[in-house]
């Protein structure tokens, strides 16, 4: 599939499919790509027992990974290969085995080769679990032929 002539939404979806097919980590953890649009992505994951720590809560690394995946899909919606340059996460409330977490990524700024994305992680009750901010950088290459 070529990027030429695609609407922004169709381009975002085609880029997401190309990335999804090669994203072993995201798929292996049981994540689901709920939706994607230019500069936006929503990914969900159910917390399995293997993802819990010594406190009986979800290990923060899994929450970070969920947010990072949503960030990756949001910043790669323009057919430019884009990677993380810097990320930070603030944990607000614990998540537990069986919780369904949703990471909603939203573009804040995109200028030149850099972008800023905010990702909100909530549980199945809509409770705020974590906040993640990612800074992106475009690199050489595209997901689809031009």
DSSP element (H, E) containing 110 = strand 100-111
* Mean per-residue pLDDT, 14-22: 94
Predicted local confidence at residue 54, as pLDDT:
96
* Residue whose token pair is 């159910």: 46
85-137 residue pLDDT tens: 999 999 999 999 999 999 999 999 999 999 999 999 999 999 999 999 999 99
* Domain residue limits, the chain: 8-142
The count of residues in the chain is 146
Question: Residue 1 — very low, low, confident or very high, per pLDDT cuts 50/70/90?
Answer: low
d(CA 40, CA 84): 15
What pLDDT is stored for residue 19 in this prediction? 95
Pick the CATH number of 8-142 from 3.20.20.140, 1.20.1050.140, 3.10.129.10, 1.20.1340.10: 3.10.129.10
Instruction: Please tell me what DSSP assigns to residue 51.
Output: G
């Amino acid at each position: 599939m070529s990027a030429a002539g695609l609407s922004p939404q169709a381009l975002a979806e085609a880029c997401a499919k190309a990335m999804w097919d090669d994203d072993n980590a995201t798929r292996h953890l049981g994540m689901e790509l709920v939706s994607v649009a230019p500069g936006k992505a929503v990914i969900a994951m159910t917390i399995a027992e293997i993802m819990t720590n010594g406190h009986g809560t979800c290990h923060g690394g899994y929450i970070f990974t969920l947010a990072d995946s949503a960030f990756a899909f949001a910043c790669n919606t323009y057919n430019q290969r884009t990677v993380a340059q810097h990320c930070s996460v603030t944990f607000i409330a614990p998540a537990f085995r069986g919780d369904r977490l949703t990471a909603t990524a939203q573009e804040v700024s995109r200028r030149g080769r850099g972008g800023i994305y905010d990702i909100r992680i909530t549980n199945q009750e809509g409770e705020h679990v974590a906040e993640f901010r990612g800074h992106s950088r475009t690199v050489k290459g595209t997901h689809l032929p031009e």
